[in-house]
Chains A and B, each alone.
Chain A
Amino acid sequence: AQKVTQAQTEISVVEKEDVTLDCVYETRDTTYYLFWYKQPPSGELVFLIRRNSFDEQNEISGRYSWNFQKSTSSFNFTITASQVVDSAVYFCARKAAGNKLTFGGGTRVLVKP
């Protein structure tokens, strides 16, 4: 199976610190899509971003930014100036042929005031 690996299981920071979440994926496909989802304590997965394999431009959305490096099969996510409301579990996922979305194990982010 082609895996998605999130090596950090938990990260604890103090408010206003930056935090970077790592994601490494395996794929044999030329065309694929990468996603990040947030799962707050309420439990519902919330979509954050989608990238396709042909677009390696980094993206910034407010305090969130993403770094896609195809050469290292990585799609890392940075939260700048973290806030308590950012506390959640964050999942990286990959979708290729067959439409199955494969998730990593998640990284729990705890932002302390």
Chain B
Amino acid sequence: GAGVSQTPSNKVTEKGKYVELRCDPISGHTALYWYRQSLGQGPEFLIYFQGTGAADDSGLPNDRFFAVRPEGSVSTLKIQRTERGDSAVYLCASSSGSGANVLTFGAGSRLTVL
């Protein structure tokens, strides 16, 4: 597609529920990133994929968070047993490679855990 597409744009869930957030990167972009942005703060790195594999998942806060990219294109961020502290905007970005390549961001998925 023309840009990075993220769905849903808004998700409200109850504490303890499971959620999935989807990212559709720019066609042909091999690198895909997930970030989390809390209110009033800068985006924080969660995980980076190069192709199908997670090249760096050091930003995932705990084992409730998991992400996949099975065919090297669309990625899903999965959060189990959601907590109120998980409320944030989850941003996805893609780039055509690594190194100096610029990340293009999607509009984000706003998650609210009640």
Contact = CB atoms under 8 A, between A and B. Distances in A.
Interface of A: 4, 6, 33, 35, 37, 42-45, 47, 50, 52, 91, 93, 95, 98-106
B48 A33 contact: no
Given A45-B91, A99-B31, A99-B99, A104 B45 contact: no
Contacts of A45: 43, 91, 93, 105
B6 to A, nearest CB: 10
The contact size tier of chain B is 20 to 34
B98 interface: yes
Nearest to B44: A103
29 contacts: A33-B99, A33-B100, A37-B105, A42-B107, A43-B89, A43-B107, A43-B108, A44-B105, A44-B106, A45-B91, A45-B93, A47-B103, A50-B100, A50-B102, A52-B100, A99-B31, A99-B56, A99-B98, A100-B45, A100-B56, A100-B58, A100-B59, A102-B45, A103-B42, A103-B43, A103-B44, A105-B41, A105-B42, A106-B41
Nearest to A99: B98
A96 B99 CA distance: 7
Contacts, number: 55
Interface of B: 31, 33, 40-45, 48, 50, 55-56, 58-59, 89, 91, 93, 98-100, 102-108
Nearest to B33: A101
Q: Is the interface of A mostly helix, strand, loop or mixed?
A: strand
Given A47-B102, A100-B48, A103-B43, 11 more contacts: A4-B42, A43-B89, A45-B43, A50-B100, A91-B42, A98-B56, A99-B50, A99-B99, A100-B45, A101-B93, A106-B40
A98 B47 CA distance: 11
Nearest to B31: A99
Contact of A104 (B33, B42, B103): B42
Contacts of B100: 33, 50, 52, 95
